[in-house]
Structure 1
Amino acid sequence: MIQHTFGLLVKPSSQWKTVSELSDSSFKTLLIYPWILAIIPAVAWYWGTTHVGWAVGDGEHIKLTKDSAMTICVLFYLTQVVCLAAIGYFIHWMSDTYGAESTIAKGIIIASLAATPLFLFGAVGFYPILWLDLLIGIVAVCWAVYLMYLGIPIVMNIPEERGFLFSSAVMGVAMVILICLMVGAVILWDFGAAPSFTD
Structure 2
Amino acid sequence: MSADNENHPRGHRFSVEDARARAQQAYRKSEFIFSRAYGLLREPNKEWQQIRAEETTVPNILLGYVAPLAAIPPVAGLIGALVFEPIRVGPIDSALVSVVVTWIVTVALVFLLGLLINALADQFDADRDDLSAHKIAAYSLTPAFLSGLFSLWPPLWWLSLFALAAMVYVMYRGLPILMKTPPERALSYAASVTIAAMVAGIVLFSLASCVG
Q: Normalized against structure 1, the TM-score is what?
A: 0.77
Query: Which of these residues, 92, 95, 111, is aligned with residue 69 of structure 1?
Result: 95
Q: For residues 16-35 of structure 1, what are the structure 2 equivalents within 5 Å?
A: 16-20=48-52, 22-23=53-54, 25-26=55-56, 28=58, 29-31=60-62, 32-35=64-67
Aligned residue in 2 for 1:139: 162
**Which residue of 2 is the match for residue 120 of structure 1?**
146
* Cα distance in structure 2, aligned partners of 1:146 and 1:178: 19
Unaligned runs of 5+ in 1: 55-60, 194-199
Distance 1:103 1:178, change over 3 A: same
Give the CA deviation at 1:150.
1.9
Moved more, 159-168 or 98-107: 98-107
- Retained in 2: the 8 A contact 1:27–1:109? no
1:133 is matched by which residue type in structure 2? Answer: W
CA contact (8 A) 1:153 1:164 kept: no
Retained in 2: the 8 A contact 1:118–1:144? yes
- Asked if the contact 2:41–2:170 (Cα under 8 Å) also holds between the matched residues in 1, the reply is no
1:126-154 CA-partner distances (Å, limit 9, x unpaired):
2322xx212x1111111112112222122
Aligned counterparts of 2:67 and 2:192: Cα–Cα separation in 1: 25
- Counterpart amino acid of 1:173? A
Aligned partner of 1:91 in structure 2 is 117
1:37 aligns to 2:82 (yes or no): no
Query: 1: distance between equivalents of 2:72 and 2:43?
Result: 22
Cα deviation 1:70-102 (Å, max 9, x = unaligned): 011111111211111111101111223333333
Give the 5 Å matches for 1:171-182. 171-181=194-204
- Which has the larger helix fraction? 2
Task: State the identity %.
Answer: 31
Give the match's secondary structure for 1:13: helix
Match of 1:62, SS? helix
State yes or no: 1:53 paired with 2:84.
yes
Q: Does 1:10 align with 2:42?
A: yes
1:161 corresponds in structure 2 to 184
Query: Counterpart of 1:158 in 2: which secondary structure?
Result: coil
Tell me the secondary structure at the aligned position of residue 124 of structure 2. Answer: coil
Match of 2:105 among 54, 79, 101: 79
- For the structure 1 residues 40 and 182, does the alpha-carbon distance in structure 2 shift closer, same or farther, using more than 3 Å as the test? closer
Q: Which runs of 5+ in 2 are unaligned?
A: 1-31
For 1:11-62, what per-residue CA distance to the aligned partner results, in whole angstroms no more than 9, with x for missing partners? 2232122223x14x33544342111211222221222222x033xxxxxx63
Aligned residues: 177
**TM-score, normalised to structure 2's length?**
0.73
Q: Higher Cα Rg: structure 1 or 2?
A: 2
State whether residues 90 and 170 of structure 1, in contact with CA within 8 Å, keep that contact through their aligned partners in structure 2: yes
* Aligned twin of 1:105: 131
- 1:165: how far off? 3.0
